[in-house]
Chains A and B, each alone.
Chain A
Amino acid sequence: MKVTHTELQAKPRMTTHYWSHRGRRAHRTNLLHRIGSGLVLPIALVLVTGFLATGVALVPSRISAEAGTLLAALGASFLRLFIAYVFSLVIGVALGLLAERGRRLESALLPIFDVLESMPVLAFFPVVIILFLKANLLEGAAVFIIFFSMVWNIAFSVVGGVRQTPEDVKAVGVVFGMTWKERLFKILLPSVFPAILTGSILAVADGWNIVIVAEALRAYAPQSDKAHDLFGIGSILVHASSTGDSTTLLAAMGILVVAIALVNIALWQPLLAYAERFKFE
């Protein structure tokens, strides 16, 4: 008996949906709505907040002169965040998979992860800076502290992802004689891909929070001043805030919101839609 297949026609077009990583649910929308809610509204929010705080109603002309600096600072912060994210991704996935290797490892590692995740990362920042200062690696201190705030999101997401993978699917690799490497790349990593993605979105959000303070090293490093700050959008924000430069503050906030919204629309949304195919029913 031949079995015909017609359900592909009924497959929803992912481009017409907005994907939320919180439960990875699709909401019907279109590009205009997505740009409206993801880009225009946040910018409007920044402008209104800025107006209420500073009385500046429009973007002053001075900002256009500073735009190049702000974009370069944004790029520097992005690079810092990206390097920390790559470390977090590799180590977080490895830790998550390690914790799910067996009951003994799980019961040994998860309590350690819990404690480390709960530690107030900024409270340890001065110690971290002193350690990295000795090696003359200030950039390393910032990347490390961003990494430390990100990695647990990914590790715990992977632990949850492995637990949600059906036992039968995990068994397929063993029954069909796959090597551990084949099982890792053909079964385990694809099965936790949606969890890695959710963890990554949360990690990057946490990373942005820490970038703001991690770049303003003068607040943490002993006997330091503004010259010790790392060049980035975070240090510009902190400096503008502390000197009362509301125009720069407003512009930096605006450029940050636009960048984060663009990352959501251009990176996370397509990846969340793509991750649907890795979902178990």
Chain B
Amino acid sequence: MSTTNNHEPILSFKDVTFAYEPHVPATLKDVSFELPKDSFTVIVGPSGSGKSTILRLVTGLDKAQKGSVQNTARTRMIFQGGALLPWETTLNNVKVGFTGRKMSEAQKTHDAMAALTELGIDTLGDSYPRHLSGGQRQRVGIARALVSSPELLLLDEPFSALDIETSKRLSDEVLRIHSEQHITMLMVSHSVEDAVMLADRILVFKDGHIAEEIPVSLPRPRTITDPEVQAIIKHVQGTIPSSG
């Protein structure tokens, strides 16, 4: 059951400051932003700019030392590389998504198989992660995140370990899920191209704060060769300092 309406932000950061250890420079400095329901926000920025820390704070893996993080949504996450449990079959990995749900084992199996079927990998239910390709693992990770009907889906560099072709197919899949299931999405990415192709808003992080907020109002699906898409890519790239 949803706990939000369209007028309330599903997630809000207010003046959040965070450092991984005392006496070291803060990773995030007075960061404030909100995620409207059904939005697709992508955070880009160079390494060490604090992008992934945002996701750790949203999931509760870390706590902000100053400011507040308010998350009213049922939240799930898609990890870079899938983060599957190697000792479990694909089907059992998907069932991890049902943690905390009171369901019969038969119902879990049925729903997990349905999720695998939707992502085109139902033949891999009995396989172990070590026998899957990078793209297949990521699909299992997506299925695991989706079976519990999340309201907020976090994506941590979901395409970075994949080849271009697989990356394109999976980003299409993510976009389809976003439009069909109306899940609010917050993605962290190194790829400005991915950000512009998917997001309706891009947050550019620099030195632990939001350097620029760029709305992307082009209709989806977008084409990478579209001059308007290219113009936005160029603009975003111009705002990101070199990480070298």
**Residues on A facing B (Cβ under 8 Å):** 1-5, 7-8, 11, 166, 168-169, 171-172, 174-178, 182, 186-187, 190-191, 193, 277-281
A-contacting residues, B151-166, CB 8 Å: 154, 156
Evaluate contact between B86 and A3: CB separation under 8 angstroms.
Answer: no
Evaluate contact between B87 and A174: CB separation under 8 angstroms.
Answer: no
Evaluate contact between A8 and B127: CB separation under 8 angstroms.
Answer: yes
Which residues of the other chain, B, contact A3 by a CB distance below 8 angstroms?
120-121, 123-124, 136, 139
CB < 8 Å neighbour of A169 from B83, B130, B154, B156: B83
Query: In chain A, what residue has the closest Cβ to B136?
Result: A3
Query: In chain B, what residue has the closest Cβ to A10?
Result: B131
Beyond A3-B123, A3-B124, A172-B96: 8 further Cβ-contacts under 8 Å? Answer: A8-B127, A168-B83, A174-B59, A175-B59, A176-B96, A176-B144, A182-B99, A190-B85
Give CA–CA (A188, B59) in the complex, Å: 19
Which residues of the other chain, A, contact B191 by a CB distance below 8 angstroms?
none
Contact size range, B = 35 or more
Give CA–CA (A58, B128) in the complex, Å: 52
Evaluate contact between A175 and B76: CB separation under 8 angstroms.
Answer: yes
Evaluate contact between A175 and B75: CB separation under 8 angstroms.
Answer: yes
Evaluate contact between B123 and A177: CB separation under 8 angstroms.
Answer: no
Evaluate contact between B86 and A5: CB separation under 8 angstroms.
Answer: no
Known: A176-B96, A277-B87. A5 touches B127 (CB 8 A): yes
Known: A5-B127, A11-B131, A168-B79. A176 touches B99 (CB 8 A): yes
Evaluate contact between A175 and B77: CB separation under 8 angstroms.
Answer: yes
Which residues of the other chain, A, contact B87 by a CB distance below 8 angstroms?
190, 193, 277-278
Evaluate contact between A176 and B97: CB separation under 8 angstroms.
Answer: yes
Interface string of B124-156 (1 = CB under 8 A from A): 100110111000100100001000100000101
Give CA–CA (A207, B127) in the complex, Å: 39
Which residues of the other chain, A, contact B132 by a CB distance below 8 angstroms?
5
* A237–chain B nearest beta-carbon distance, Å: 41
Evaluate contact between B128 and A277: CB separation under 8 angstroms.
Answer: yes
Which residues of the other chain, A, contact B128 by a CB distance below 8 angstroms?
277
Evaluate contact between B81 and A168: CB separation under 8 angstroms.
Answer: yes
Which residues of the other chain, B, contact A187 by a CB distance below 8 angstroms?
85
Q: Which 9 A-B pairs have the closest CB atoms?
A: A168-B83, A168-B79, A7-B131, A175-B77, A176-B99, A278-B87, A177-B100, A175-B59, A1-B120
CB < 8 Å neighbour of A174 from B60, B122, B127: B60
Evaluate contact between B86 and A277: CB separation under 8 angstroms.
Answer: yes
* B152–chain A nearest beta-carbon distance, Å: 11
Give CA–CA (A256, B63) in the complex, Å: 55
Query: In chain A, what residue has the closest Cβ to B83?
Result: A168
Evaluate contact between B123 and A172: CB separation under 8 angstroms.
Answer: no
Query: In chain B, what residue has the closest Cβ to A178?
Result: B99
A-contacting residues, B28-86, CB 8 Å: 56, 59-61, 75-77, 79-81, 83, 85-86
